[in-house]
Amino acid sequence: MLQIARETLDTLGFDFAAAVSQYQSALAAHATSLGQPAPTAHPLVEAAVRAGGYEVIEPTPPPPPPAPSLDDLKRLVDAEREARLSVGFDFDFGDTRGVHRFGTTGRDRLGWSEVEGMATAAINAGQVSLPIAVRTDTGDLTIAAHEWPAVRLAGAVALQPVWQASWTIKDDIVSGLLTDPATIATHPAWPVST
C-alpha cells in the first residue's frame, strides 16, 4: 500500500480518489482490448494502483506549547498589575480647582514621589502653605504642601486594591489554582476599574 502525505494530495489540483478509480476502470477495460495502447495517468495515480491502494497520511499536529512556568505567570501578573496601576485616580479639591485626574503610570508615580519629598520637607519645615506647581492629567495645578497627604491617601485608596489583587493571584499561581495565562486579566480578585 502506498502512503501519500495529505500535503501532496492537496497540491495535485484534482480529485485523487476519482483519478485512481478511473485509472483502475481504464486498466480493466484495456485488459479485454486488443491492440490498444495501455492507459496512462498521473504518475502518483499509477503508483497507487500498482501498490494495490493508498493510504493518506494526515499531517502531525504541532505539539502544544509548553505550559508557562510559575515565573512566566508571575510576570504576566506583574504586567497586568502595572497596566491597572497606570489608569490614574480622581481627586476633588472641593474648590474652584475641581476634580483632577492624577496619572499613575510608573513615570507618573516617580514624579509624584518628587512632589511627596517636596511637600514633606515643606511640612517638616513649618511651611505647610508652600505652593507646589504640578501637572495632572487634567491640567496645571497649584497645591499647598499640606494638601498633598490627602492626594496621596486618595491615590493609595485607589491603587492598593490592585496591589492586593496581584498578591492574591500570585498565591493562586503558587498553589496551582491558576495555570491558564488567559485567565490572569479576568481574575475576580482584580478590583473593578473606575
- Whether pTM > 0.75 for this model: the answer is no
Whole-number pLDDT of residue 31:
86
Question: In which element (H, E) is residue 135 found?
Answer: strand 131-135
Question: In which element (H, E) is residue 71 found?
Answer: helix 70-85
Whole-number pLDDT of residue 36:
87
Q: How far apart are CA 100 and CA 173, in angstroms?
A: 37
* HSE, side-chain direction, 13 A CA sphere, residue 48: 22
Q: Residue 194 pLDDT more than 70? A: no
Q: Residue 185 pLDDT more than 80? A: yes
Q: Residue 193 pLDDT more than 90? A: no
- Residue 123 makes CB contacts below 8 A (sequence gap 6+) with 145, 146
Residue carrying C-alpha cell 480493466: 28
Three-state secondary structure call for residue 134: strand
Whole-number pLDDT of residue 65:
87
Tell me the pLDDT tens digit for each residue of 154-178: 999 999 999 999 999 999 999 999 9
Whole-number pLDDT of residue 35:
83
Question: Would you say 32 and 84 are in contact if contact means Cβ atoms under 8 Å apart?
Answer: no
Q: Residue 10 pLDDT more than 90? A: yes
For the ranges 27-36, 96-105, 111-120, 145-154, the lowest mean pLDDT is seen at 27-36
Q: How far apart are CA 107 and CA 48, in angstroms?
A: 68
Q: How confident is the model at residue 143 (pLDDT cuts 50, 70, 90)?
A: very high
